[in-house]
A and B are shown apart, each in its own frame.
Chain A
Amino acid sequence: MALLEKQIRRLSIGLAILGMATLMALILVGVLDALLRHMSGKSVPGLVETTEILLVATVYLPIAFAYRHDAHVSADVALTLFPARWHKPMEMLGLLISIGLLIPVSYFSWEATIASFTSGEMRWGAVQLPLWPGRLSLSLGLSALALEVVSRLAGTIKTEDMAAEAGDMNK
């Protein structure tokens, strides 16, 4: 289990590093576009299409890493309205729902990625760019996120078991 957890962490970090690269690229493309537009009065062909793909990659590649670091907003206060003994089961229910949601969403995104790759789907604009790299980053990000949620659920169950064992020993 620890080995699996380690691999999931590596996957999230690896995708986040790719996300950092796409974020830097997005900044550079933005500056380049602005500079060239001011100097030559026109945009470089393909920059708009590149920006679209970079945006998708910047959003989805680090989404699992952001989850691992609790960067996604959640309204914890709502949970505190319930008795303390309900918190853990409710939290686990939430994790199960997340998994139940992310698995089909990831599946559909993989379907779209494979279809995009095999059909040679293109973004038609000033230049033609293949769409599959953007779709792939979406699929990879969502799948890594699903794995992160599974890992968190396993961690929560393990903590529960250890707490129960500690309780038994204290009796």
Chain B
Amino acid sequence: MMSGATIVAITIAVLVLLIIVRLPVFLALLGSGLVGIILVDGTPGLGHTISRMMYDQPSRVILAVLPLFIVMGVYAKNSNISDQLFGLAAAATKRFRGGLAMATVIAGAGFGAISGSSTACAAALGPMSVRAMRRANYSPAFAAAVVGASGTLGILIPPSILMVLYGIASGESIGKLLIAGIVPGLLTAVMYMLGISILARIRPELVGLGKNGGATDQQVAEKTVVAKSGESRRQAWFSVGRVLILFGVVVGGIYSGILTVSEAAAYGAIVAIIFHAYDRNRHEGFRVWRRSFWESLIESLNINAMVFGILVGASFISYVILVSRIPMEFAEWVSAFDVPGWMLILAFLAFLLPLGMFLDSTSIILICTPIIHPVVTQLGYDGIWFAILFVKMLEIGLITPPVGINAFVVGGLVKDVRIERIFAALAIFVPIELLTVGLLFAFPDLVTFLPDLMS
């Protein structure tokens, strides 16, 4: 009889092998999970277990939040909101060194407030902000890196799909998790802007200073669509209004207790679809709107299939982990260490860093949360606080090689820059992220005070 730890080790080894031969992650999770289930339960009843889990896992009503938030994010991305946010932010920061990079961060935070995905955020921000920064002679790799890093704000500032998944995997209140992301998200944005400001002084060539030719940040900001006419400015402010309405409906609704998370997601999705229809019809006509509507629906469908595929696949591995009693054994093993709790938390967070470099965020949350989260709460730490630190570490995985997905998203926008250079430029943001994690670790109230005030 194999021990639980051996079974899980074999399961994880099979997972790695399947990922290496380029199976989609959800199939790799499913295949390795099945190997684990055979080792745990044997083959009798395997067919029943498979069909039951494949059906039961995605049919939980709480999961209806995910497609709704996905639809909201995709339709918001495919409206003109992000460009107009960037234009306004560029006008506000034009007098600062690295103003366009700061504007990208501000627009990232703004767009993060209506989109729950980092890739959607980076993809929406990228085209206009990279073009503007390149016009102002920014280093192309640095311009791409700013967009990639700003995109990560999308998974912290609510609504966040990863927070919803964390809530499902840990049993923490999803509403509180979403609200808890606000201050850390804004803090990250401020830290990014400070970092950019310091970099602009230490290495001015990154932000186009000291180079001959090209425009200044101010000149480029003044040429953005937003600054060209009063009508454009009004449109841009209208976009800010729409962001506030969407944010108000979703986050305000949850925070005040007027809406449940599912209701907020449903209203958010429908409001985003209405805004998208207004935007496309007004600026590009009915035909463009109709095409964009269907394209957005297909995009939402594909993202939904991807997220749920991983969710179902990961549930097979979670089953193996739970039946093998790994969470209990892990808790006992951890409690045998005579070290302070905060050191264990640091060890868990440090473990997430390399993991985030090789596995996608959704899989990490669904596999690791059931093991680590109970230990953290048993140690007496706040689960919501740890969730934010957990997601912060995943943010770093989004911008570090080899699978830093945001780097690949922005890589598609600056095709003349090698991906290695983008990763190198993104490395500038890793210490800023770690410093932010340090602040949130040292001052837990930054995370917990807003959810604690919730009705």
Contact = CB atoms under 8 A, between A and B. Distances in A.
Contacts of A153: none
A91 B19 CA distance: 10
Interface string B98-141: 00000000000000000000000000000000000000000000
Q: How large is the interface on B (under 10, 10 to 19, 20 to 34, 35 or more residues)?
A: 35 or more
Contact of B301 (A56, A62, A90, A102): A62
Nearest to A64: B305
Given A97-B18, A101-B30, A108-B47, A72 B270 contact: no
A19 B298 CA distance: 9
B23 A51 contact: no
A27 B301 CA distance: 12
Contacts of B60: 52, 55
B302 A69 contact: yes
Given A30-B265, A63-B309, A112-B55, A71 B25 contact: no
Residue of A26, A80, A93, A94 with most chain B CB atoms under a 10 A cut-off: A94
Interface in A12-69: 16, 19-20, 23-24, 26-27, 30-31, 33-34, 37-38, 48, 51-53, 55-56, 58-60, 62-63, 65-67, 69
Contact of B266 (A20, A34, A91, A94): A34
Interface in A151-169: none
B225 to A, nearest CB: 31
Contacts of A97: 18, 21, 23, 31
B71 interface: yes
B402 interface: yes
Contact of B302 (A71, A79, A107, A135): A71
A53 B60 CA distance: 9
A108 B49 CA distance: 9
A55 B64 contact: yes
Contact of B263 (A37, A78, A94): A37
Q: How large is the interface on A (under 10, 10 to 19, 20 to 34, 35 or more residues)?
A: 35 or more
Contacts of A34: 259-260, 262-263, 266-267
A interface, by DSSP: helix, strand, loop or mixed?
helix
B308 interface: yes
A73 interface: yes
Contacts of A26: 64, 67-68
A56 B58 contact: yes
B50 interface: yes
Contacts of A72: 24-27, 305-306, 309
Interface string B38-71: 0000000011101110110011110110011001
B271 to A, nearest CB: 10
Contacts of B30: 101, 105
B266 A27 contact: yes
B154 to A, nearest CB: 17
Nearest to A139: B51
A19 B301 contact: yes
Contacts of A93: 21
A7 interface: no
Contacts of B267: 31, 34
Given A30-B265, A31-B267, A105-B54, 8 more contacts: A16-B298, A19-B305, A23-B297, A26-B67, A55-B58, A76-B22, A90-B21, A109-B51
28 contacts: A27-B67, A27-B68, A27-B269, A27-B273, A30-B263, A55-B67, A56-B58, A58-B67, A59-B309, A59-B312, A63-B305, A71-B303, A73-B360, A73-B362, A75-B22, A75-B403, A77-B402, A90-B20, A90-B21, A91-B22, A93-B21, A97-B21, A97-B31, A102-B27, A108-B50, A112-B47, A112-B51, A112-B55
Interface of B: 18-27, 30-31, 34, 46-48, 50-52, 54-55, 58-61, 63-64, 67-68, 71, 259-260, 262-263, 265-267, 269-270, 273, 297-298, 300-306, 308-310, 312, 358-360, 362, 401-403, 405
